[in-house]
Structure formats: C-alpha cells, structure tokens
Amino acid sequence: ASVFRIVILPGDGIGPEVVTEAARVLEAVTAALPDVDLKLETYDFGGCSIDKFGEPLTEATLEACKSADAILMGAIGGPKWGVNSKVRPEQGLLALRKALGLYANIRPANFASDSLLNYSPLKPHIAQGVDMIVIRELIGGAYFGTRKELGASPQEDTAWDTMIYSVPEVQRITRVAAQVALAANPPLPIHSIDKANVLASSRLWRKVVIETLEEEFPQLKLDHHLVDSASMLIVSNPKKLNGVILTENLFGDILSDESSVIPGSLGLLPSASLAGAPSVADYKSADFKATPGLYEPIHGSAPDIAGQGIANPVGTILSAAMLLRYSLGLEKPAKAIEDAVRKVLDDTEKGGAGYRTADLAGQHKTKDVGDKVIEILKTLL
Ligand code: NAD
Ligand code: IPM
Ligand code: MN
C-alpha cells in the first residue's frame, strides 16, 4: 500500500471539533482502500501551543509539517490570545505558511449542494449557478511587509505596515491561476482584483498579470476589477465573477470570507495552500503530488460557538478532499467525499439526508454530520 504521513493540527476553539470529523473521514478512506494507508499524527499548534510551550509554532511541529506528505488544520486563535497579546496564534500560522513557501491559496466558493440555495441570504436567482475559485497570494503583501507598532521609536504615535509585491511573486501566483483556469473545460476566465487606482503594489500587480497571461497563456480571458466594486459584485451579481478570482493576500482574505455568503455559511468553504501550481498535465496524472500542502477551512476558531459541538465540519471535510486530490493524487476518494457531502446536505425530498448544522438552519451536531458523511462515503468508495 502507498503510505502517506498526514500531520493534523487541530488548533483552538472549534478547530479540534471540525478536524475530528475530517480525520474520521480520512480514516474511513484508509479503511476502505487496501492500497492506501494514511498515517495521521497530531501536533500542537496555535493558542494551545502558546499555553504549553510559550510559542504558537514549535520546532517539533514545524519539522513534522516539513517532512509530512500533507497537513490538515482546524483553526487557531481566540480571545485568550487577543490582538494585544505579545505572542499570538496567528503569528504561528503566518510563520508556517512562509516556512513551507505556500504562496498559492486556492479557495473554491461554489455550492456543495444546490439545496443550500434555500439557506443563502441572497435571493436564489442571484446565488444559483455561482461557481468561483478564489486564488489568493498567501505569503506576500501587507501580511509580510515590515511594520512598526504604536509606541515603538522613532515616532511613538504612529504605526505602519508596508504592502510589498515583487514581479516574480505576482508571476508565480498568476501561473497558478492560469493552471486552475486551464484545468476546466472550457478554460475559466480570470478576474484579477486590485486597487490599481490608488496603490503602487496594485499597479505592479495589474501590469504583471497582463504580461504573464499575454506571454504564457494568451488563450485565457482576463478582466480587471477594483476591489471595492468587486466586493459589491460578489453579493449583488456574483455570476459576473464566475471563473477564477486572482488577487493579493489581504484582498483575498476579505473577499473569500465574503464569498461564503453566497452558499450560505463560512463553515462550508475549504482551502488548499500550495507551494506551486499543479500544472494541467500534473493535475490530471495519477502520480501527481504537491507536497506538503496545508489544508484548512477558510473560517476561524469561532469562539462564539466553541465547545458546543455545533460547528459546521463541512469546510474541513472538503479540505480533506482537496488534500487527497492535490497532495496525494487520490482523485477518486476526493470526489467520493465531495459527493457524500452533497448527499448529506441535500434535502430529503431530493433523495438526500438533509443533515445541516445550526449555521444553515439545521438542528444536527458536528458529529452527526460527520457520521452521516462517513456512512454515505462508505457506499461510494
Ligand atoms: P471566525 O471565522 O472564527 O467566525 C466568524 C463567524 O462565523 C462566527 O460567528 C462563527 O461562529 C461563524 N463560524 C465560523 N466557522 C463556523 C463553522 N464551521 N460553523 C458554524 N459557524 C462558523 O472569525 P472571527 O470570530 O473573526 O475570528 C476568531 C479567531 O479565529 C480569531 O483569533 C482569528 O484570528 C482566528 N482565525 C483563524 C483562522 C485560521 O486558523 N485559519 C481563520 C480565520 C480567523
Ligand atoms: C485566514 C485567516 C488568517 C489570514 C489569519 C488567522 C492570520 O483569516 O486563513 O483566512 O488572515 O490569512
Ligand atoms: Mn480569513
């Protein structure tokens, strides 16, 4: 059997609750497939690691991640280690992404099930048929530029952050967007989002996106939107942005949370963070591996509902499916998980189970949804 080492980082708040269900789904895959052996190893990360060791990302956790085939994370952070703490869980996440060179963050924002249209805050005719994939640059921009805190010299009453992008940084994320666009048939259009009417880094962004696509992928459709009006379109006429949304780190963070309004809950959306693009050929070949990718739902530790067993595990379960697809090259079980999730969310009258958590007006618990996904998955593997 092919043996894969998967590092599990449960994290804080609802992180452990949602990761438990996704890990059980991966264990169900191992149990059902004799030629696949997924070895899951759990490590401390985030606030719980600060409490034990004084730092959010220890050398032991980092080394385990570096040598793993893939990493599955829940979420980190919480009021206990708030914005005024000297050491914060979020610093660990940024350090991990940077250390692994995970510059490409892929966040699909499409419908896990059409039955979710009933629970979207948007009118059904606006939400229906939305199919967008956010490609967010993950280790550049304002997150990683130099900064100065309030109270530090030389000017104690100022604080600043710098938003820096280099030409190669924008070229490589543009190539990822192109590969994702080309993996669909017909290829998806690319919508590049920036603030080029104000920011120098955005003018560089727009120029490099145009040049890279013209030179290397002239067959792809490209348009540009300013981030303010794009954020309006996402909730007023999102189908206009169907395809690949290509954007920088901070804008991508904000727009991906906003895009979760369309399917109806932040708890639904998964993500993959990769150190490179699966090329179209790689993506389709059976032995493709993008390691060690980091897979996590796009949501946070949800302190307001932590400990109640009511968090939606779907975003994390779908992240596990992305892990199988992108890092392990296991397309069949990845697809089976996605199909199982769809059946679990579907309303009973459509032949599905109609299992939903409270964020989608359901009454089921985190574990109920996990149980149901596994039950249906077993029939699909
Ligand atoms: P959040 O994403 O944790 O929660 C926002 C809202 O969405 C809350 O009302 C929450 O209950 C709800 N929600 C989120 N996930 C849900 C799920 N799976 N099921 C049901 N409801 C869900 O954002 P926040 O409250 O602004 O941040 C809390 C902490 O999480 C902060 O410390 C933040 O830095 C951290 N955070 C971490 C990650 C990560 O680990 N990748 C991502 C985002 C935020
Ligand atoms: C995310 C989160 C992180 C980010 C935080 C926790 C650092 O919001 O993954 O979307 O801003 O990238
Ligand atoms: Mn975010």
Tens digits of residue pLDDT in 33-60 = 999 999 999 999 999 999 999 999 999 9
Going by C-alpha positions, the residue among 256, 252, 271, 134 that lies closest to residue 194 is 252
User: Residues near ligand 1 with C-beta < 6 Å?
Assistant: 14, 18, 75-78, 90, 93, 266-267, 296, 299-305, 311-312, 315, 359
Q: What is the pLDDT of residue 348?
A: 78
How far away, in angstroms, is 164 Cα from ligand 1 center? Answer: 27
How far away, in angstroms, is 239 Cα from ligand 3 center? Answer: 22
* Model pLDDT for residues 200-227, shown as the tens digit of each residue: 999 999 999 999 999 999 999 999 999 9
Residue ranges of the chain assigned to CATH 3.40.718.10:
1-110+282-381, 121-149+158-262
Q: Per-residue pLDDT for 332 more than 80?
A: yes
Ligand positioned closest to the Cα atom of 369: 1
> Domain 1-110+282-381: which CATH class?
alpha beta
225 - beta bridge partners? 193
Q: Per-residue pLDDT for 279 more than 60?
A: no
Write the residue with the smallest CA distance to atom 40 of ligand 1: 75
CA 208 and chain centroid, separation: 24
Model confidence at 277, pLDDT cuts 50, 70, 90, reads: low
Note if 44 is an active site residue. no
Note if 355 is an active site residue. no
Highest-confidence range of 272-276, 346-350, 359-363, by mean pLDDT? Answer: 359-363
Q: What is the pLDDT of residue 291?
A: 60
CA pair distance 292, 326, nearest whole angstrom: 10
Distances (CA, A) of 257 to 73, 107, 108, 299: 17, 10, 11, 8
Q: What is the pLDDT of residue 121?
A: 94
CA pair distance 201, 121, nearest whole angstrom: 34
How far away, in angstroms, is 253 Cα from ligand 2 center? Answer: 7
Write the residue with the smallest CA distance to atom 4 of ligand 1: 302
Q: Where are the beta strands (DSSP E) in the chain?
A: 2-11, 36-42, 70-75, 104-110, 131-137, 147-148, 160-161, 190-194, 222-226, 243-247, 270-274, 293-297
Q: What is the ipTM of this complex?
A: 0.99
Ligand positioned closest to the Cα atom of 315: 1
The pTM of the full predicted model, rounded to 2 decimals, is 0.96
CATH superfamily label, 121-149+158-262: Isopropylmalate Dehydrogenase (3.40.718.10)
Q: Per-residue pLDDT for 280 more than 70?
A: no
Residue among 43, 143, 295, 355 flagged as catalytic: 143
Q: What is the pLDDT of residue 353?
A: 82
Residue among 43, 195, 343, 372 flagged as catalytic: 195
* Model pLDDT for residues 56-97, shown as the tens digit of each residue: 999 999 999 999 999 999 999 999 999 999 999 999 999 999
β-pair type (147-148, 293-297): unpaired
Note if 228 is an active site residue. yes
Q: Per-residue pLDDT for 286 more than 70?
A: no
Q: How many CA atoms lie within 13 A of 192 on its CB side?
A: 28
Note if 43 is an active site residue. no
Model confidence at 349, pLDDT cuts 50, 70, 90, reads: confident
DSSP letters spanning 12-47: STTHHHHHHHHHHHHHHHHHH-TTEEEEEEE---TH
Q: What is the pLDDT of residue 284?
A: 45
Residue among 114, 161, 257, 347 flagged as catalytic: 257
- What atom of ligand 1 comes closest to residue 305's alpha carbon? 11
Model confidence at 115, pLDDT cuts 50, 70, 90, reads: confident
> Which residue of 9, 93, 269 sits with most ligand 2 atoms within 8 Å of its CB, as the best mutation to test the pocket?
93
